[in-house]
């Protein structure tokens, strides 16, 4: 048996029973290796065994390259596992729903077990399909792909409020699978035309989301690389099954898993912690830096790429009162954040906890209001602190540490973007405070010498 990402050829129950669990547990080994590499303690609890890649996203200080490597490894494992599972279902002559479930985190163990014990039941295949284009079937496949995208967002995002593997991976996979299967079930399209048809259906589906005010352009663009990859893989499976003569529609039963998967993800939402800390050395005394930290002057440097990407960025902040319990109002590009001071040590430390925050991004849309729940409540800032450390020669090191929660899956895909946006915003705040502090110090020095 060859473990390659292909979906052609039979596979025996014994070989599948050996290969599939090995692929699943390779993810656990990879996560354990990352934790060992970064000298972190790994908790082998139930969540780790069900959702190992979520545990990788929780690794403290996970660098972007590690998240990228982990995500690519996850995709490779899912591709090979899906190929083997579909080959196993094809050999049994049914159970394509189980084959799709075999790549769903949390459900794959049971699906793999059932696939491994299924008896062989192979019907006689139809004659080889002629090559050409059946316009009616192409239109059916395209319309089916568009409908799946719109219905998936209505059910997962709008109804359940779930943004996870089901919406960002399984939905485009099934769009590719269904579109390719329907378009190739009578006459076979060339592989390149099938892929273009699937991508066109996905593009039209996302355009329908924008026109129906269900999503904005920014979110669509951010999710499109992952969705296009999943749709392309699904297209290969759908085309192969159509060519094999499975004309009774049984493979399309895979669509039945989506609502249940959305409900499951809504019941067990992720909460991936992101803790970041950045510092800058300032040619000013701690008292001057403290005055700049507590000032209500607007931030100086332009927002840069964060604003162009549509993410929220800070504009100014204002303290109401002094000491622990004082209120802090943060003005962002998307609205107002309300915070409460939890530590107040003039010239040394200022910390505050979040009470409410504005949307994390501003969607680009032809409509004033977009019904996209993900802009609020799926990325939460919980705590921020400013620490001032006195350095020799009257200088000060300013450190900003903040904690956040990410409630989007796949976390390894979204977390690097979140870390980048956070780092860009914090860097802008640090630079603004540095310029303000040093300008004030220079101004005071000039007054003394005048």
Confidence (pTM): 0.81
**Region of poorest pLDDT, from 179-183, 243-247, 413-417:** 243-247
Please say if the pLDDT value at position 246 is more than 80: no
Per-residue pLDDT, 125: 46
Of 223, 249, 267, the residue at which a domain comes to its end is: 267
Q: Give a yes or no: residue 4 inside a domain.
A: no
Per-residue pLDDT, 425: 93
Q: How far apart are CA 356 and CA 354, in angstroms?
A: 6
| Same domain flag for 187 and 296 | no
**Rounded to the nearest 10 degrees, what angle do helices 64-92 and 411-449 cross at?**
170
| Same domain flag for 293 and 238 | no
Please say if the pLDDT value at position 429 is more than 80: yes
Q: Give a yes or no: residue 277 inside a domain.
A: yes
* Mean local confidence (pLDDT), 315-323: 94
Q: Give a yes or no: residue 377 inside a domain.
A: yes
* Mean local confidence (pLDDT), 103-131: 69
Per-residue pLDDT, 245: 66
Q: How far is CA 13 from CA 202, 221, 229, in A?
A: 35, 41, 29
Q: How far apart are CA 338 and CA 362, in angstroms?
A: 19
| Same domain flag for 349 and 376 | yes
| Same domain flag for 260 and 334 | no
Q: Give a yes or no: residue 146 inside a domain.
A: yes
**Region of poorest pLDDT, from 75-84, 179-188, 244-253:** 244-253
Predicted confidence (pLDDT) per residue in 3-22, tens digit: 445 666 677 788 888 999 99
Contact 197, 179 (CB under 8 A): yes
pLDDT band of residue 323 (cuts 50, 70, 90) is very high
Contact 416, 407 (CB under 8 A): no
Q: Give a yes or no: residue 165 inside a domain.
A: yes
| Same domain flag for 105 and 158 | yes
**What domain range includes position 402?**
272-449
User: Residue 333's domain is classified under what CATH number?
Assistant: 3.30.530.20
Q: Give a yes or no: residue 249 inside a domain.
A: yes
| Same domain flag for 242 and 369 | no
**Region of poorest pLDDT, from 217-221, 352-356, 442-446:** 442-446
Q: How many domains does the chain have?
A: 2
Per-residue pLDDT, 349: 96
Please choose, from the candidates 280, 253, 314, the residue with its C-alpha nearest in 3D space to the C-alpha of residue 401.
Answer: 280
CA angle, 286 then 288 then 292, to 5°:
110
Please say if the pLDDT value at position 121 is more than 60: no
Q: Bridge-partner residues for 331, per DSSP?
A: 316, 336
Please count the helices (runs of H) and the strands (runs of E) in the chain: 15, 7
Strands (E), 253-369: 272-282, 314-320, 327-332, 335-345, 349-356
Count the Cβ atoms, other than its own, within 10 Å of residue 184: 28
Per-residue pLDDT, 60: 80
What radius of gyration, in Å, describes the C-alpha atoms of the chain?
A: 26
User: Tokens representing 314?
Assistant: 């800070």
| Same domain flag for 263 and 289 | no
Per-residue pLDDT, 301: 78
Please say if the pLDDT value at position 361 is more than 50: yes
Of 213, 237, 267, the residue at which a domain comes to its end is: 267
Per-residue pLDDT, 450: 58
Q: How far apart are CA 245 and CA 27, in angstroms?
A: 34
Predicted confidence (pLDDT) per residue in 265-296, tens digit: 888 888 888 999 999 999 999 999 999 999 99
Mean pLDDT, the chain, rounded, equals 85
Tokens 């005055």: give the residue. 291
Predicted confidence (pLDDT) per residue in 220-231, tens digit: 889 999 999 999
* Mean local confidence (pLDDT), 430-434: 94
Q: Give a yes or no: residue 360 inside a domain.
A: yes
pLDDT band of residue 326 (cuts 50, 70, 90) is very high
Of 248, 267, 286, the residue at which a domain comes to its end is: 267
pLDDT band of residue 250 (cuts 50, 70, 90) is low
**Region of poorest pLDDT, from 82-96, 227-241, 434-448:** 82-96
Count the Cβ atoms, other than its own, within 10 Å of residue 100: 29
| Same domain flag for 284 and 425 | yes
Please say if the pLDDT value at position 215 is more than 90: no
Q: Give a yes or no: residue 6 inside a domain.
A: no
Please choose, from the candidates 121, 87, 123, 122, the residue with its C-alpha nearest in 3D space to the C-alpha of residue 102.
Answer: 87
- Residue 438's Cβ-side half-sphere holds a number of Cα atoms within 13 Å equal to 14
Please say if the pLDDT value at position 317 is more than 90: yes
In the sheet with 335-345, reading across from the earlier edge strand, the strands are 272-282, 395-406, 379-391, 349-356, 335-345, 327-332, 314-320
Per-residue pLDDT, 124: 42
pLDDT band of residue 65 (cuts 50, 70, 90) is confident
* Mean local confidence (pLDDT), 299-303: 82
Phi and psi at 396, nearest 5°, equal -140, 140
With b meaning 16 or more CB within 10 Å and e meaning fewer, what string describes 361-389?
bbbebeeeebebbbbbebbbbeebbbbbe
Which DSSP letter does residue 392 get?
A: G
| Same domain flag for 282 and 199 | no
| Same domain flag for 103 and 225 | yes
| Same domain flag for 438 and 359 | yes
| Same domain flag for 389 and 410 | yes
Contact 274, 425 (CB under 8 A): no
Q: How far apart are CA 361 and CA 216, in angstroms?
A: 10
């Amino acid at each position: 048996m060859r473990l390659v990402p292909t979906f052609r050829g039979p596979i025996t129950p014994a070989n599948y029973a050996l290969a599939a669990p090995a692929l699943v547990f390779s993810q656990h080994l990879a996560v354990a290796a990352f934790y060992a590499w970064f000298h972190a303690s790994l908790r082998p609890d139930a969540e780790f065994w069900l959702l190992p890649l979520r545990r990788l996203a929780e690794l403290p200080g996970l660098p972007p390259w590690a998240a990228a490597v982990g995500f690519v490894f996850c995709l490779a494992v899912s591709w090979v596992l899906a190929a083997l599972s579909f080959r196993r279902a094809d050999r049994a002559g049914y159970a394509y729903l189980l084959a799709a479930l075999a790549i769903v985190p949390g459900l794959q163990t049971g699906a793999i077990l059932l696939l491994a014990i299924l008896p062989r039941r192979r019907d006689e295949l139809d004659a080889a399909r002629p090559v050409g284009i059946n316009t009616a079937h192409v239109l059916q496949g395209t319309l089916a792909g568009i409908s799946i995208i719109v219905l998936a967002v209505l059910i997962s995002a709008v109804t359940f409020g779930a943004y996870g593997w089901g919406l960002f991976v399984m939905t485009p996979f099934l769009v590719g699978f269904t579109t390719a299967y329907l378009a190739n079930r009578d006459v076979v399209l060339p592989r390149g035309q099938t892929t273009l048809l699937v991508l066109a259906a996905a593009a039209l589906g996302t355009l329908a989301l924008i026109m129906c005010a269900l999503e904005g352009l920014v979110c669509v663009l951010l999710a499109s690389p992952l969705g296009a990859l999943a749709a392309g893989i699904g297209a290969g499976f759908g085309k192969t099954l159509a060519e094999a003569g499975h004309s009774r529609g049984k493979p399309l039963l895979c669509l039945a898993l989506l609502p249940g998967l959305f409900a499951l993800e809504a019941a067990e939402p992720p909460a991936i912690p992101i803790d970041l800390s950045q510092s800058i050395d300032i040619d000013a005394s701690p008292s001057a830096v403290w005055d700049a930290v507590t000032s209500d002057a607007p931030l100086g440097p332009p927002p840069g790429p964060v604003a162009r990407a549509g993410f929220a960025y800070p504009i100014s902040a204002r303290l109401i009162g002094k000491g622990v319990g004082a209120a802090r109002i943060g003005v962002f590009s998307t609205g107002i954040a309300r915070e409460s001071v939890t530590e107040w040590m003039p010239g040394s430390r200022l910390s505050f906890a979040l009470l409410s925050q504005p949307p994390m991004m501003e969607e680009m849309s032809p409509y004033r209001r977009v019904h996209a729940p993900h802009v609020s409540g799926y990325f939460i800032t919980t705590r921020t602190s400013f620490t001032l450390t006195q350095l020799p020669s009257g200088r000060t090191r300013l450190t900003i540490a903040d904690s956040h929660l990410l409630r989007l899956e796949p976390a390894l895909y979204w977390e690097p973007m979140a870390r980048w946006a956070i780092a860009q915003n914090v860097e802008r705040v640090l630079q603004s405070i540095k310029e303000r502090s040093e300008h004030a110090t220079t101004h005071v020095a000039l007054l003394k010498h005048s």
